[in-house]
């Protein structure tokens, strides 16, 4: 499909009935496996990709982030939304330019967060945060195809579990032109249901949080539109890797092989992708 057709398909996912899962690959291989599994769209993970190249979350620059996303787009042909962190700059103009570059990389969606990445001042002032989303939305409107702009309120991820402020921020981002709203870190039914009922845009919810037992059916009943898992898939893979490494080093055994994917199956998936 053309980028415009992919963009239209992605926008339609947000309009149709029900809830969909948009999983987060960490590299091209994992993206292809998720596409093979039948998912209809993908979202990159800044942390997952950073881990895959030996860096901490937040240490990957804009150019490298966009190049990675372009590879995922090219490898799968699926709609891809990019984790654009804080837009790679404080100014509204930086957020706008990042959206334009994301579209040029082949993405049909992207998220801008209100987290500064500065320990002493972790969240942008409300007015500036809203202006950043407004500038990003104006960049979206200049594109020749629909681009799903996700506005993220990062309060819960920086140790500020203030639901009232989070909702008020997302309401401001909604008015500024965001297409999707996202507050990663919410963990209870009441928090999620209250957020969904307080806005009139599709809401993305982060799953893969330890101790949270909500299912796709549970979240669908709350009218959540989209579910992502952030860096969880990458961390699950790394967790299995580390357990295997420690088993070899500490015990001298190789029991981890029982959980390994069959190489013939993986080869067949990747070989069929090349043929197609």
Beta bridge partners, 113, equal 152
Q: What is the pLDDT of residues 1-38, one digit of tens each?
A: 999 999 999 999 999 999 999 999 999 999 999 999 99
Instruction: Determine the pLDDT at residue 274.
Output: 61
- Tell me the C-alpha distance between 170 and 199, whole Å: 8
Instruction: Determine the pLDDT at residue 272.
Output: 77
Q: Does the pLDDT at position 276 exceed 60?
A: no
Q: Which helix (H) or strand (E) holds 205?
A: strand 203-206
Q: Does the pLDDT at position 158 exceed 90?
A: yes
pLDDT > 70: percent of the chain? 99
- Describe the strand order of the beta sheet including 80-83 as a list of residue ranges: 20-21, 226-228, 203-206, 180-182, 148-152, 109-113, 80-83, 42-43
- Contact yes or no for 137/149 (Cβ under 8 A): yes
- Tell me the C-alpha distance between 256 and 87, whole Å: 40
Scanning 16-45, the segments in alpha helix (DSSP H) are: 28-37
Q: What is the pLDDT of residues 226-235, one digit of tens each?
A: 999 999 999 9
Class of domain 3-230: alpha beta
Instruction: Determine the pLDDT at residue 275.
Output: 60
Query: For all residues of the chain together, what is the average pLDDT?
Result: 97
Residues 6+ apart with CB under 8 A from 120: none
Strands 180-182 and 109-113: unpaired
């Amino acid at each position: 499909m053309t980028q415009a057709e992919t963009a239209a398909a992605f926008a339609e996912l947000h309009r149709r009935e029900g809830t969909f899962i948009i999983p987060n690959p960490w590299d091209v291989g994992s993206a292809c496996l998720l596409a093979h599994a039948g998912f209809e769209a993908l979202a990159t993970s800044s942390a997952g990709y950073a881990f895959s190249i030996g860096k901490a979350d937040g240490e990957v620059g804009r150019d490298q982030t966009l190049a990675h996303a372009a590879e995922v787009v090219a490898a799968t042909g699926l709609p891809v939304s990019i984790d654009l962190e804080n837009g790679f700059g404080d100014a509204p103009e930086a957020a706008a330019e990042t959206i334009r570059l994301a579209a040029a990389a082949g993405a049909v969606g992207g998220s801008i967060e209100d987290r500064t990445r500065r320990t002493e001042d972790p969240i942008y002032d409300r007015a500036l945060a809203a202006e950043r989303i407004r500038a990003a939305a104006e960049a979206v409107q200049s594109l020749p195809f629909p681009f799903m702009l996700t506005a993220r309120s990062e309060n819960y991820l920086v140790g500020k579990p203030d639901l009232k402020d989070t909702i008020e921020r997302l309401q401001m981002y909604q008015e500024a032109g965001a297409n999707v709203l996202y507050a990663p870190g919410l963990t209870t039914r009441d928090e999620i249901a209250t957020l969904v009922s307080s806005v009139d845009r599709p809401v993305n919810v982060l799953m893969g949080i330890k101790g949270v037992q909500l299912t796709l059916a549970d979240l669908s009943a709350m009218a959540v539109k989209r579910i992502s898992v952030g860096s969880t898939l990458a961390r699950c893979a790394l967790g299995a890797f580390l357990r295997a490494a420690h088993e070899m080093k500490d015990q001298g055994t190789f029991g981890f092989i029982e959980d390994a994917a069959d190489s013939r199956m993986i080869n067949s998936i990747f070989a069929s992708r090349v043929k197609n």
